[in-house]
Amino acid sequence: MNKAIGITGGIASGKSTVVDFLMSAGYEVVDADKLVRSLQAPGGQLHQAIFEHYGPDFFDEQNELIREKLGSRIFSDDKARAELGSLQGKIIRANLYRLAEEKVAEKLKDGLFFMDIPLLFEQNYDELFDEIWLVALPEGQQIERLMARNQLTEAEARQRIATQLPLEEKIKRATTVLDNSGSLEVLQRQVQTALEKARNAG
């Protein structure tokens, strides 16, 4: 039976870099964000649910969800964020669990498969995984990267980071912590070490 490993980390922590390492090494990685985007596309389960709840103002002329507009709304409004989380939660969870069941039965490299889930802890997906890898870096670096990546002010970056579980809590719940405060080479060595442990653990 394959081993399921969850990969998570705060916004702009460098999680996608770890995913790139794994995929280039031939490992299967399920991207939860891509799954959500497919569900939010016209005809998807989430598209209809969001349209019914929020109305047409959050959709463009092609009936595509305007994610930036919805994101601005939920990041500045705790109630709206909770509503959206509840609205999407059951649908996303059911689809992720279905995917995990499928991957467990497939023939995969080293008997390992990964799921890239940004809000793994926040949405309590711990039970899905045999191991959880957390990509972490100091808040100062995280703020700088988020500001540069998303063209945000420091206040906006802090606001977005504050919507996620504090790093200290994530570290307590993670199986492995990958420190991304240094070079890419150092991060890659940590990934290789984590892979060896996962393979040898059986």
**Annotation-wise, does 181 bind a ligand?**
no
Q: What's the CA gap between 5 and 175, in Å, rounded?
A: 10
**Annotation-wise, does 15 bind a ligand?**
yes
Neighbouring C-beta atoms of residue 159, cutoff 10 Å: 13
Pairing of strands 28-31, 112-116: parallel
**Annotation-wise, does 86 bind a ligand?**
no
**Annotation-wise, does 14 bind a ligand?**
yes
For the record, the structure tokens of 116 come out as 């890239």
Name the burial class of residue 150, with classes exposed (0-12), middle (13-18) and buried (19+) by CB atoms within 10 angstroms of its CB.
middle
DSSP 106: S
**Annotation-wise, does 183 bind a ligand?**
no
Listed residue (176, 171, 189, 180) closest to 5, CA to CA: 176
Contacts with 119 (C-beta within 8 Å, 6 or more apart), sequence order:
8, 164
What distance lies between CA 109 and its chain's CA centroid? 22
**Annotation-wise, does 17 bind a ligand?**
yes
Binding residues: 12-17
Binding residues for ATP: 12-17
